[in-house]
Amino acid sequence: MNQTTRMNQATRMNRMNRMRLVAVSAGLSTPSSTRLLADRLVQSARYELAAQGHEVETHVVELRDLAVAVANNLVTGFPAPPLAAAIDAVTGAHGLIVVTPVFTASYSGLLKSFFDLIDPQALAGKPVLVAATGGTARHSLALDHALRPLFAYLRAAVVPTGVYAASEDWGSGGDSYAEGLPGRVQRAGGELAALMSRREGKEGTEEHADDVDDVDDDVAVLERQLSDLRFD
């Protein structure tokens, strides 16, 4: 085995273990408790993945920065370059953390608009952790009544623990009846990491086929169909 081959193999091994973890934060203020929660969840999942021997690459998509681009895409049908990059990051991630403020009993409209722009098949099977923030704990079921159905439609694999952080959670611990925010963050991050590891163990984390290769698979099927219609 020459040196180049060894190096290629090392790069390959490295890539095999490298996982992309992407968080989407739909908070609107700066600083934002939604972003704060996203960062905590990223940290927790990253820690667990690292403990399992994975190298982790993390990225946070701040939807606030893309608000105009999202609206423009809704009316033009195509994403401006920074939005296209965010969509690629989300669809190309091995695991996704989605955090939204609760507005009017649900996720924010900006979050929904962003996911409206993503191909409905693109998140199928992807491990997703859902989380939300709000003023009081009274809105916590928005996680299960709004966010879970959204990702169920997209056929993502949502981890069992969703994390809701009310304002008071940032200044209190748990009690004998319920876990505090840090405990929930840790549990949810662990669940996401476990799901990502399991899935990648099965499929391998090698770069998935890019656009063009996907298209090649599609056209091969189509070619057979066209031959079936062929007369000459």
Partner 1 sequence: MQFGIFSVGDVTPDPTTGRTPSERARIKAIVAIALKAEEVGLDVFATGEHHNPPFVPSSPTTMLGYIAARTERIVLSTATTLITTNDPVKIAEDYAMLQHLADGRVDLMMGRGNTGPVYPWFGQDIREGINLAKENYALLRRLWREDVVDWEGKFRTPLQGFTSTPRPLDGVPPFVWHGSIRSPEIAEQAAYYGDGFFHNNIFWPFDHTRRMVELYRRRYAFHGHGHPEQAIVGLGGQVFMRKNSQDAVREFRPYFDNAPVYGHGPSLEEFTEQTPLTVGSPQQVIERTLSFRESVGDYQRQLFLMDHAGLPLKTVLQQLDILGEEVVPVLRKEFAIDRPVNVPDAPTHGLLRDARAVTAE
Tell me how far, at minimum, the Cβ of 89 lies from partner 1, in Å: 17
Tell me how far, at minimum, the Cβ of 149 lies from partner 1, in Å: 23
Tell me how far, at minimum, the Cβ of 225 lies from partner 1, in Å: 6
Tell me how far, at minimum, the Cβ of 226 lies from partner 1, in Å: 5
Contacts of residue 76, Cβ cutoff 8 Å, sequence gap at least 6: none
Q: Report the residue number, 202 or 224, with the smaller CB distance to partner 1.
A: 224
Tell me how far, at minimum, the Cβ of 67 lies from partner 1, in Å: 13
Q: Report the residue number, 138 or 208, with the smaller CB distance to partner 1.
A: 208
Tell me how far, at minimum, the Cβ of 85 lies from partner 1, in Å: 12
Q: Report the residue number, 10 or 74, with the smaller CB distance to partner 1.
A: 74
SS3 letters across the chain: CCHHHHHHHHHHHHHHHEEEEEEEECCCCCCCHHHHHHHHHHHHHHHHHHHCCCEEEEEEEEHHHHHHHHHHHHHHCCCCHHHHHHHHHHHCCCEEEEEEECECCECCHHHHHHHHCCCCCCCCCCEEEEEEEECCHHHCCHHHHHHHHHHHHCCCEECCCCEEEEHHHHHCCCCCCCCCHHHHHHHHHHHHHHHHHHHHHHHCCCCCCCHHHHHHHHHHHHHHHHHHCCCC
Cβ–Cβ under 8 Å, residues 49 and 122: no
Q: Report the residue number, 68 or 105, with the smaller CB distance to partner 1.
A: 68
Q: Report the residue number, 206 or 223, with the smaller CB distance to partner 1.
A: 223
Binding site for partner 1 (CB under 8 A): 71-72, 74-78, 80-81, 211-212, 215, 218-219, 222-223, 225-226, 229-232
CA distance 95 to 22: 6
Q: Report the residue number, 17 or 91, with the smaller CB distance to partner 1.
A: 91
